Amino acid sequence: MKRLLLAALAVAAAAAWTVPSTATASEITFSGQYRLRGEYRNNADFTNENYSVRAGAGAGAPAPNVNNTANDSTNMWVQRVRLTANAKATDDTSVKITLQDSRTWGVATDNAGGGPQLTDNGTNTVDLHESYLNVANVFGSPVALRAGRQELAYGDERLIGSFGWNNNGRAFDAFKLMYNSDIVNVDLFTSRINVASSTTDGTQTESLHGVYATVKAVPNNTIDLYVLNLRNRETAPAANTFGAATGSNNGITGGPLGAYYGTQTLYTYGIRLKGDVAGADYTFELPYQTGTIHRRSSTVNLTTVPPSFPATLRNDMQVKSYAYAAKVGYTLTVPVKTRIGVEYDFASGDKHPVSNATTGAAFNVNDSEINTFYNLYPTNHDKLGLMDMQAWRNVKAWNVNLTVEPSDKLKLFASYWKFALAAKEDGWYNAGDWNTGAGTGGGVANGVHANPVNTAPNNNNYTSDIGSEFDFVATYKYNSALTIEAGAAHFWAGEFIKNQFNAPGAVANDVTGQDWAYLQLTANF
């Protein structure tokens, strides 16, 4: 039904554009993109076929046959088609509409629900990726207005991005005011991310607001300043504002405490510097977060909270976290264009997480703070390794990379990453913020898109060494429309991963690395 409605909309729009109106044919432009990508991942669970668990193993050991061959090797082909129409009604009024079809080859069933409101994550979806009204010089001012579903992307997209690598991408339902000059650009936006189906009054919503300014006073250098506010007013304390993983690690998403927390507010204040001079380039970004997870009501009977929960957790939870990223590179133009770069990324973790949110047992909590940095809605794929094993959360990572352009058509990229936990008491968060494991042992979630290692904190894992990754990508511009891209990567498991699997009852030394490769064709028209 959804596909028929969208097809009817497309036909009606095309028919309408053939009828004479105040906009001439030259004021309506069409464009599009076809993208096809095949992906292969081997040893997704980090264990070889000999991994096993002895009979009578302790509770900390993974279940038998969970991590050896099931979901161990996967491959898929994903396809995305976008058709865009830009209609200029007047000199200062225009409309953009982008229809998108996303699907996985061999999967014929439509996803009627279409996935979450923010990003359609269904296997097959036909939807409006963007549909907005743009008004320039509002009431004669230098301010422009954009209203509707639109992509938001700022800076390096570490905090807010369009996530173009994803087969569906990301778009926000938002109002945005824009001011642009030779010296400064300023965006002010408010967006509605999710409205609970059980209410129509807007009291159970998740929303993102922000102001983002870029100062361009110094040639070849920019300074970005921003304030972002993420607010979750859901009555069910799903900890969406800070991510399920952070909430779980701090004991607020499940168990007895879960019933006592409601509105969640997160503020992110940041600065980003970017520039280049004499062949050298640099980028530095520093965000700081504060916020509160409010106790739901003063009338809640807190005497029902088990005595094992510390008194500090009976009040509002406060957020205090930060992160930074620094990149430096130098480009040589002879004999071929070559850039050598280094990078260091850090995001704070929580040294005092709750070990078990359900029972309240095994607490390592002496405060009511959440110190795990939350990286909002980023474009994660090209950050912290191409295998998407690491998010900008509870991490210390360094990188060295090399880019070579032998010709105008060919670009080669190689990169090496080393990852560690910022706080070994906290969890390991990967690019999808997956956290489907439970308990403090070495359990592994099922499914290729689940975190291959349990991210719940393991206070018995006395190491922060996650592992290392090598990436290689070749990009070839076949012609002005078609680009061919191929990449391969390998992840070496560190002591943290090995210790998770080599829990009591597990056979040691059966943890190995993971491989990933892809081939992508992109045609713009």
Beta bridge mates, 226? 212, 270
Provide the whole-model pTM. Answer: 0.82
227 touches 187 (CB < 8 A): no
**Fold category of 2-524 in CATH:** Porin (2.40.160)
Q: What is the pLDDT of residue 99?
A: 96
- Nearest alpha carbon to residue 495 among 421, 445, 397: 421
Q: What is the pLDDT of residue 217?
A: 92
Omega within 30 of 0 (cis) for the link into 457:
no
Q: What is the pLDDT of residue 154?
A: 97
Q: What is the pLDDT of residue 417?
A: 98
The 3-class secondary structure across 76-109, one letter per residue, is EEEEEEEEEEEEEEECCEEEEEEEEEEEECCCCC
- Separate counts of helices (H) and strands (E) for the chain: 3, 19
Q: What is the pLDDT of residue 328?
A: 98
User: Tokens 């892809």 appear where?
Assistant: 518
44 touches 448 (CB < 8 A): yes
Show the DSSP H helices in 354-482 as ranges: none
Q: What is the pLDDT of residue 355?
A: 45
Q: What is the pLDDT of residue 352?
A: 73
Domain limits, the chain:
2-524
Distance CA 22, CA 499 (A): 68
Distance CA 358, CA 485 (A): 46
List the structure tokens of 47: 């264990």
Q: What is the pLDDT of residue 313?
A: 54
Omega within 30 of 0 (cis) for the link into 62:
no
Q: What is the pLDDT of residue 503?
A: 55
Distance CA 267, CA 228 (A): 6
pLDDT along the chain (525 residues), means of 10: 50 47 68 97 76 44 46 84 95 95 77 40 71 96 96 96 92 96 97 61 73 95 97 56 48 44 85 95 97 64 53 71 97 93 95 51 54 90 92 95 97 98 86 43 30 45 87 98 98 85 55 92 97
Q: How many CB atoms sit inside 10 A of residue 273's CB?
A: 14
